Each structure stands twice: as C-alpha cells, then as structure tokens.
C-alpha cells in the first residue's frame, strides 16, 4: 500500500510539472490597455487622429471670414481629407488594421463634416437645415448599427455611403473657399463661384446620404425577416 501511494504521488507530481511547463510555454497575452495604446499610436491611427486635431484649426481660420484665411482653412481641411486615403492604405499595407482604427476612421470623417457644416451655418454661409439633416441621418444610422450589433445581425453597407462622403468632402472644399476666383479650363477663362459649386455638391451628398440610410434601414428589416423565417 505505501508503495502504491508513493507511485500515485509521483504520478500527480509529474502531471503537475508537465502542466507548469505547458503554461510557461504559452505566449503571454498583452493587457488590453497596452494593446489599445499600441493601436492608438501606430502610424495609420496617428494620421487619423491628426485629422481630428485639424478640425479646430480649420474652425479658427474660417472664423476670420477673409479670402486669405479661408484659403488657409481649406488647405488644412483638404490635407485632412486626403489623409483619409493614406491611413487606410497604410493600415492594410503594414498589416495594422485594428478595431481602434475601424472606430476612429469613420469618426474622424463625421467630425470633420459636422464641424465644418455647423461652423458655416453659424456664420450664415450655409442654411441650417443642411447640418440638421446630416446630423440626424448620422445619428439614426449609428443607432440602427448599435441595434443590429446587439441583435447579432450582419448588414452589408450600401454603395451610396462612399459617394456621400466623397461629395461632402469636395463640396465642403468649395464652401470653405467661399469666394469667387478666376479659373482657366482648357484655355477658357471664367470666374467660378466656389460657394455655389460647393453648395450644389453638398445637396447632392444629402440625396446620396438619405438613399444610403434607406438602404441600410431596408437591409436591417430584411435581416430581421430572414432571422424570423429561420427560427
């Protein structure tokens, strides 16, 4: 009996030793706070955050309401808009696509558009109904996304969303320039009203915006119906 008990104890000690060795070989997981911090300050996400930093710079320059300062404002805005392409490209190229980046990138776009339209409306350079519609649409779609995630529904994004963002950014460039300037197109010289051109593009973007919101809402209802049928 003592011999059997001794063998049993040895077996237990060996199995515990093997478990300890296995645990030591496992790669240690980074704490979540460190992982988020690393994601936050990688190159693509740093470029995205720089877009957000440019927002108050654009607002300050625009507040002077002079041609020179408007050109400075639009320079920073255009630089921020162009960086929207580079941060996504670098994230894919450097294999740095992260949940943090997926959150920050659309947030930066929305903040840029909302800040610019609200500032323009407060200056009387843009009708107040335009930022109201844009903000209402964004909040409604975001709320619907949260419900879809909570319900475990996967809804494909419509093609109208990208066209909406492109039209908004280009339209806002025109609105920020605001003043008339002489332009030459294929040897034909004329004076261009940048404010009017930007306004037309913004209105077109609202049409695409509402269309894409309807597509998303319809996709949400279709996903609910399919799940009910499956149940």
pTM higher than 0.95: no
Residue 90 sits in a domain whose CATH number is: 1.20.120.1760
* Neighbouring C-beta atoms of residue 18, cutoff 10 Å: 10
Domain for residue 28, yes or no? no
* Structural domains counted in the chain: 1
> Rounded CA gap, 193 and 195, in Å?
6
CA distance 219 to 155: 6
Q: Which residues of the chain have pLDDT under 50?
A: 1, 3, 27
Residues 6+ apart with CB under 8 A from 88: 44, 105
Range of the domain at 185: 39-230
* 3 assigned to some structural domain: no
Closest CA to 81 of 97, 105, 63, 60: 105
Residue 146 lies in a domain: yes
Q: How far is it, in rounded angstroms, from Cα 98 to Cα 111? A: 20
Look at residue 112 and tell me if it is in a domain: yes
Q: For residue 32, what pLDDT is reported?
A: 52
3-state SS assignment for residue 185: strand
Rounded CA gap, 214 and 137, in Å? 10
Would you say residue 104 lies in a domain?
A: yes
| CA pair distance 117, 22, nearest whole angstrom | 58
pLDDT of residue 3: 43
- Encoded tokens for 123: 């200056």
Q: What pLDDT is recorded for position 100?
A: 78
Do the domain assignments include residue 21? no
- pLDDT tens for 27-64 read 455 555 556 666 777 888 888 899 999 999 999 999 99
pLDDT at residue number 115: 94
């Amino acid at each position: 009996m003592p011999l059997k008990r001794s063998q049993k104890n040895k077996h237990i000690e060996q199995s515990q030793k093997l478990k300890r060795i296995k645990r030591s070989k496992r790669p240690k997981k980074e704490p979540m706070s460190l992982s988020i911090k690393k994601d936050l300050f990688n190159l693509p996400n740093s470029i995205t955050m720089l877009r957000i930093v440019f927002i108050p710079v654009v607002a300050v320059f625009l507040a002077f309401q002079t041609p020179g300062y408007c050109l400075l404002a639009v320079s920073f805005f255009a630089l921020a808009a162009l960086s929207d392409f580079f941060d996504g490209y670098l994230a894919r190229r450097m294999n740095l696509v992260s949940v943090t980046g997926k959150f920050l990138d659309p947030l930066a776009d929305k903040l840029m558009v909302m800040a610019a339209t609200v500032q323009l409306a407060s200056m009387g350079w843009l009708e107040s109904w335009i930022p109201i519609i844009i903000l209402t649409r964004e909040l409604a779609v975001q709320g619907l996304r949260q419900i879809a995630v909570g319900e475990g529904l996967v809804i494909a994004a419509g093609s109208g969303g990208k066209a909406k963002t492109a039209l908004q950014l280009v339209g806002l460039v025109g609105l920020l320039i605001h003043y008339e300037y002489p332009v030459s197109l294929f040897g034909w010289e004329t004076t261009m009203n940048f404010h009017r051109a930007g306004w037309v593009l913004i209105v077109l973007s609202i049409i695409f915006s509402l269309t894409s919101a309807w597509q998303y809402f319809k996709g949400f209802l279709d996903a609910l119906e399919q799940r009910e049928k499956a149940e």
